Amino acid sequence: MRALLVEDDEMIGSSLSQALEGAGWSVDWVRDGALAQSALADGGYTCALLDLGLPRQDGAEVLRRARERGDATPVLVLTARGSLDDRVLVLDLGADDYLLKPFEFRELLARMRAIVRRRDGAAHSVIGNTALQLDLTTREVLVDGQREALTQREFALLHALLERPGAILSREQLENRIYGWGEEVTSNAVDVLIHGMRRKLGPDAIRNVRGLGWRVPSR
């Protein structure tokens, strides 16, 4: 799962991105509103964490423009501005939730899971098809009733595919979901990852569509 972190405070930004990576997220951290805007436009984020007071473009403006473009990325606003007007404003601009600074990291993770679940259209934290169910809370996959643990990258890949069973995702789309910026991605990284996962999930769990990409069966 890939998160965009928009935070101009170096201390908060670096501790948050480290903690998120420790919790299994792939994180892209940007420090101003204009960069946040272009990162969101590139797409591929499971969710975004957005500070409001930012250089170059205010967080509220980033959010307003993203929603105007039809960008549906789940957004959690992290703010020290706790007035009623501020809270109403960010929700009305299209934030999925907000969290007042300072906050507990566990609560941040829980709120991130909640907004991602809502976007997935599921009231519970399991998504999948008949053969495979992915538990977004424990990050395990259920294969024929057996729970299997997944690595961070395996989880990110399966999450992307199981959000829309049947849809074909290209190599580039999968790479965007699995790897953060600046990560070295070899040309066959996705193939190697999927090859390893087929041993865990069964040979037909993830299917290759020649020249186009990969998909999981729709049911």
Nearest CB to Ca ion, comparing residues 24 and 53: 53
Which range of residues in 1-9, 68-76, 134-142, 163-171 is near Ca ion by CB under 5 A? 1-9
Q: How far apart are CA 71 and CA 93, in angstroms?
A: 12
Taking the complex as a whole, how short is the minimal distance between the CB of residue 8 and Ca ion, in angstroms? 5
- In the complex with Ca ion, the residue whose CB is nearer, 35 or 194, is 35
Tell whether residue 6 is a contact of Ca ion (CB under 5 A).
Answer: no
C-alpha to C-alpha distance for 21 and 152, rounded to whole angstroms: 9
Q: Which of 51, 96, 154, 163 binds Ca ion (CB under 5 A)?
A: 51
Site string for Ca ion, 60-99 (x = CB under 5 A): ----------------------------------------
Backbone angles phi, psi at 26, to 5 degrees: -95, 125
Is 32 a binding residue for Ca ion by CB under 5 A? The answer is no
- Containing 128, the helix (H) or strand (E) segment is strand 126-128
Query: Which range touches Ca ion (CB under 5 A), out of 43-51, 103-111, 178-186, 202-210?
Result: 43-51
CB of 87 to Ca ion, least distance (A): 17
User: Is 25 in contact with 3 (CB distance < 8 Å)?
Assistant: yes
Count residues binding Ca ion (CB under 5 A).
Answer: 3
Which residue's Cβ lies closest to Ca ion?
Answer: 53
Smallest separation, CB 53 to Ca ion (Å)? 4
- C-beta of 43 vs 55, nearer to Ca ion: 55
Cβ neighbours of residue 211 closer than 8 Å, sequence gap 6 or more:
none
User: Rounded CA gap, 122 and 192, in Å?
Assistant: 30
Alpha carbon distance 205, 147 (integer Å): 15
Judged by CB under 5 A, which stretch of 5-13, 20-28, 65-73, 89-97 contacts Ca ion? 5-13
The separation between the first and the last C-alpha atoms of the chain, rounded to the nearest angstrom, is: 23
- Options 24, 53, 94, 165; binder of Ca ion; rule CB under 5 A: 53
Spatial contact of 159 and 206, defined as CB atoms under 8 Å apart: no
Shortest Å, Cβ 103 to Ca ion: 14
Q: Tell me the C-alpha distance between 205 and 77, whole Å.
A: 36
Q: Which residues contact 160 (CB under 8 A, 6 or more apart)?
A: 169, 173, 174, 177, 178
**Positions in the binding site for Ca ion (CB under 5 A):** 8, 51, 53
